[in-house]
Structure 1
Amino acid sequence: MRRISIITVILIILTAVGCHNENEIIYTGSNSVKKPMEALAKAYMQKNPQIKIKVMGSGSDSFHISNEVIYGQSREIKPEEEKWAKKYGPVQREKFCYGAIAIFVHPENPINGLDMEQLRKIYSGQVKNWKEVGGEDNPIAVVARGGRSGSEEFFEKEVLKEDKITNRRYSLGLNNEVVEIVSKHKFAIGYAEVAYVDNTVKTLTLAENPNTPGVLPELKNLKDQTYPLTRPLYLLIKEDAKANVKDFLNFILSPEGQTVLEDIQYAPIT
């Protein structure tokens, strides 16, 4: 009888763990995608209180996908990642909203805007002083993302083109770290996913070229993609993912999920 009792207890525990796992969804991947996923997870769990969603940012390069995982990227998928994904079986990849890379400076910096060419020259090290772009006679402290983040790769592709980023820079792993250091350094410039930028820094307008007006990374400019550093954000799941994972993705792509995104200043895809 004692042995049966122990086995019964073990089975009950295993069943409970199985139920817990069945109702658990994990987000991992891009830190820039983490912010909208937190809002989406909260909205989805309010509708489905039996579901628990863990939202963890690990970077666009930390490619991992399984039956209970929804994975985010803030850039295009790489060829080697497509090959890697095949090891997991067929993968569904969806564009779910538009975000943007914001450019910002210390609030006391008199500069209010730049164009893409000026930004390229600053981050490539060709422009080293604020007076060269209409500011005061002070050296520019360049702050960038590091760790081969999706934001870093997108920025270098869209802004630097064929140039290399200056070696005279501060490289930080997370969006909020870039915001924090720029807020404390009067001569700094930085970039981050727009949702992480707050009033401790001044967001600059950005123009495609010197002959076009600069615009801010605001919702209306993300919607019509007039802001030069607007970018799509992506989610990936296995095609044979758990039903809860598929349902969560369907919620994200639905009008209700897209409204959640719009409420936090991400441009919907619909």
Structure 2
Amino acid sequence: MSGHSMSRRSFVLVGATLASTLGLGLVGCGGSGSTSTSTDSSASSDSSASSANLSGSVTAVGSTALQPLVEAAAEQFMEKNPGVQVTVQGGGSGQGITQIAAGSVQIGDSDVFAESKLDNPDDAKKLKDNQVCVVGMGPIVNPDVTVDDLTLDQLKSIFTGEVTNWKDLGGSDEDITVINRASGSGTRATFEDAVLGDTKVPDSFKPQEQDSSGTVVKMVASTKGAISYVAFSYYDETTKALKVGGVEPKEENVETNDWTIWAYEHMYTSTSPDDATKAFIDYMLSDDVQGSLVEQTGYIPITGMKVTRDADGNVTNK
């Protein structure tokens, strides 16, 4: 799947521009917190979700890991509902949750549960949690890196600055350049929860940070010895995806939790969204999106998961 450079740019999706440029092969889901929010993760049986009389504007802001799917779905939705304009922006999960909690946007996209990003976790009770898919995430490196497989402990040693040369991990004598997502990123929160756990990163270790998954892919591809992490949907031929503990980063391994770096993708709304917003969320949960577009764009339907994970990170077999 090809990666996309989608930083804090705003995308107003009109007509067939996105479809003609990217087609439906676009590609890019929670973390920790409590379970106080209202959740709707079941697909709607209404695959059309269209109305000739529906009008209004919807702005969705947040997760760049989820952004490609939301863009693709928004394009299709607007074709069915020409009276509605959907604007899709990145900016990171923290920004998405903050803005929907403040009522500044209609939808806040996030890779993590809202409670983990709000100053007052109780504010999450004012939001509705629409879980639209699952996304796997994992480490990527510059193609010149000769290492193909790392354990979680080895990854931890890299992202805490303990190991700084690939030769110490079975690779060639080459400095490791760590590229992080910014602190508000849900992708970063998901990766650190799975890899670092409770281990604190030393204050002296200050790797560079990037605001979007698309920029991360570009930086890793152009920087010798570089390593970072992105959603599966951003994997492409310009970087090399690593195995973790001998497990390949594939959807079927996420579904069984053999690959442990994954998250739900949330599209938060108010508990009483306007008609246009509700119709768009209904479309995200419809067969049109859940039955085809989710997998086409590199995500995993929640219905395909063999396990569930609660807001505290506990995994249970279905």
How far apart are 1:195 and its partner, in Å?
1.9
For residues 35 and 123 of structure 1, do their structure 2 counterparts lie closer, same or farther at Cα, with a shift above 3 Å needed? same
How far apart are 1:104 and its partner, in Å?
0.8
Matched, 1:214 2:247: yes
Select 2:136's aligned residue among 96, 100, 104. Answer: 100
Matched, 1:197 2:232: no
Q: TM-score, normalised by structure 2?
A: 0.70
Partner of 1:27: 60
How far apart are 1:64 and its partner, in Å?
1.6
1:111-260 mapped onto 2 (5 Å cutoff): 111-165=147-201, 167-207=205-245, 213-216=246-249, 218-258=250-290, 259-260=292-293
For residues 150 and 100 of structure 1, do their structure 2 counterparts lie closer, same or farther at Cα, with a shift above 3 Å needed? same
Counting matched residue pairs gives 242
Tell me if the contact between 2:68 and 2:297 (Cα under 8 Å) persists in the aligned partners. Answer: no
Tell me if the contact between 2:114 and 2:124 (Cα under 8 Å) persists in the aligned partners. Answer: no
Q: SS where residue 222 of structure 1 aligns?
A: helix
Matched, 1:61 2:58: no
Q: SS where residue 71 of structure 1 aligns?
A: strand
For residues 35 and 81 of structure 1, do their structure 2 counterparts lie closer, same or farther at Cα, with a shift above 3 Å needed? farther
Tell me if the contact between 1:93 and 1:237 (Cα under 8 Å) persists in the aligned partners. Answer: yes
Partner of 1:9: none
Partner of 2:25: none
**2: distance between equivalents of 1:67 and 1:180?**
31
**2: distance between equivalents of 1:56 and 1:199?**
25
How far apart are 1:228 and its partner, in Å?
2.0
Tell me if the contact between 2:137 and 2:262 (Cα under 8 Å) persists in the aligned partners. Answer: yes
Q: Which amino acid aligns with 1:25?
A: V
**2: distance between equivalents of 1:106 and 1:157?**
23
Residues 139-176 of structure 1, C-alpha deviations (whole Å, 9 max, x = no match): 21111111321122222222111223351422112112
Residues 112-156 of structure 1, C-alpha deviations (whole Å, 9 max, x = no match): 121211111111112221122111122211111113211222222
Select 1:41's aligned residue among 53, 58, 74. Answer: 74
**1: distance between equivalents of 2:120 and 2:191?**
20
Unaligned runs of 5+ in 2: 1-53, 304-318
Tell me if the contact between 1:67 and 1:238 (Cα under 8 Å) persists in the aligned partners. Answer: no
How far apart are 1:59 and its partner, in Å?
1.8
For residues 169 and 244 of structure 1, do their structure 2 counterparts lie closer, same or farther at Cα, with a shift above 3 Å needed? same
How far apart are 1:81 and its partner, in Å?
5.1
**2: distance between equivalents of 1:225 and 1:255?**
25
Over alpha carbons, which structure has the higher Rg?
A: 1
Q: Which amino acid aligns with 1:256?
A: D
Matched, 1:84 2:117: no
Q: SS where residue 257 of structure 1 aligns?
A: helix
**2: distance between equivalents of 1:230 and 1:240?**
29
Aligned residues with identical type, % of pairs: 27
Tell me if the contact between 1:67 and 1:242 (Cα under 8 Å) persists in the aligned partners. Answer: no
**1: distance between equivalents of 2:124 and 2:260?**
31
Q: SS where residue 265 of structure 1 aligns?
A: coil
Q: SS where residue 111 of structure 1 aligns?
A: coil
Tell me if the contact between 2:233 and 2:298 (Cα under 8 Å) persists in the aligned partners. Answer: yes
Unaligned runs of 5+ in 1: 1-20, 208-212
Q: SS where residue 57 of structure 1 aligns?
A: strand
User: Could you say which structure has the greater relative contact order, defined with CA pairs below 8 angstroms and 6 or more residues apart?
Assistant: 2
Matched, 1:75 2:107: no
Higher helix share: 1
**2: distance between equivalents of 1:243 and 1:91?**
16
Q: SS where residue 126 of structure 1 aligns?
A: coil
**2: distance between equivalents of 1:168 and 1:247?**
43
Q: TM-score, normalised by structure 1?
A: 0.82
